[in-house]
Amino acid sequence: MTTPTPDQIKSLEQSRQRLVQLTHSLGSLITSLNQSDPLPSWPSLQSQASIISSNLLTLSTHLSENHALLRGISAYPAPEFPTKTHANTLEQLLRTKLDPRVEDWVSRGRRADENLVTGATTGTTAGMTAGAGGGLSEGDLAALWEWAPVEANSEARRRNWGGNFTLEERERGVQSVAAELGLRRVLEDEGSEEEDEEEEEEEEEDEMEVVGVRKSVSGTGFEFDIAAAPGVAAQEGGVAPVVPLDEILRYMTTGVPPGQR
């Protein structure tokens, strides 16, 4: 029985630091999930998840690098350890088996790992049975990815996009749908009023603003004309000017006829 060398102590210390980092990032994710209302945005969740995964990665490389040391090392209480006051800590340190809960996690993890490996090696049929375990085989995943974009596209083509609600939802009544989904934000239901669904949502919102502003300045009838105008112009499909504005302005300034410079 020898005392550990400074190098060994250093690597132990490093493992501890990595673990502390991991618990920190896990803890912050849990608190953000528990406490923030509304839930944190997807980007922030994703960045937290990537932090955790990089923590896990560094920890696992560190552990495998120091595998021999961590396997061979064993703890025992020194005579000067305050056993009476820190009995709990001592028990934790002297455990040779894992905590029952932790053992559960580990065995679950190992099972999933085995399933994945066998599924990948034996092909699709094994993957189907393994599906119950919560994973898909590589082949299944590939097939799914091949199927999904085409199917999603054809589904998308079947609908006329624009607005915040589907036709079915509108028929059922927007209010009740909003209540069902627990929507807090009031979404504009544009489609029921005007039919120009090709326009992007942003533009529509802007238009609404324009009309709104005008209403506060003067009467109401006229502004509505303005908002409706682009649709009318598009329907008429009138002739667009053939001489560019710049050419006209150049002619007006210097007398150079359009098309010559």
Partner 1 sequence: MHELVLFASVPSHQHHELLQQLAGLTAMQPRHRLERRLIFKAYRRPGLINTRGGTGRDVQGADIVRLNKMLNGGMFYTQVIGPISEADFHNTKPSSSADPDHPMSHDEAAGNSYDYDSQPWKLEFRDIPEAGTRSTITARLTASATLPRGDIVTPMDAWGYSFVTEYVVEGDVFIHNDIVIFLHRVLQYPSHGQEPHEPRRQLPSFRDMSPLERTGGYILQAAITVQDGSNQELMRTASQHLFGLREQLKSVVRLEHADRLSLDTRAK
Residues that bind partner 1 (CB under 8 A): 206-207, 210, 213-214, 218, 222, 225-227, 229-230, 232-233, 236, 238-255, 258
Q: What is the DSSP code (8-state) at residue 134?
A: T
Q: Angle at the Cα of 139 (from 135 to 141), degrees rounded to 5? A: 55
Q: State in angstroms the smallest separation of the CB of 182 from partner 1.
A: 34
CA atoms of 211 and 224, how far apart (whole Å): 7
**Inter-CA distances, 192 with 37, 93, 179, Å:** 32, 68, 19
Distances in Å between the alpha carbon of 164 and those of 178, 180, 204?
A: 11, 15, 12
Task: Find the shortest distance in angstroms from Cβ 186 to partner 1.
Answer: 23
Nearest distance, CB of residue 193 and partner 1, angstroms: 15
Which residue, 2 or 253, has its beta carbon nearer to partner 1? Answer: 253
Closest to partner 1 by CB, 118 vs 251, is: 251
Of the two residues 173 and 230, which places its CB atom closer to partner 1 in the complex? 230
- The tokens 């609908």 sit on which residue? 159
Taking the complex as a whole, the smallest distance from the CB of residue 239 to partner 1 amounts, in Å, to 5
Nearer to partner 1, 140 or 196 (CB): 196
Which residue bears the tokens 């999933």?
Answer: 112
DSSP string for residues in 90-105: HHHHH--SPPHHHHHH
> Smallest distance, Å, CB 240 to partner 1?
5
Residues 109 and 95: their CA atoms lie apart, in Å, by: 21
Q: Which is nearer to partner 1, 27 or 212 (CB)?
A: 212
Shorter beta-carbon distance to partner 1: residue 155 or 225: 225
Least distance (Å) from partner 1 to the CB of residue 205? 12
Radius of gyration of the chain (CA): 33
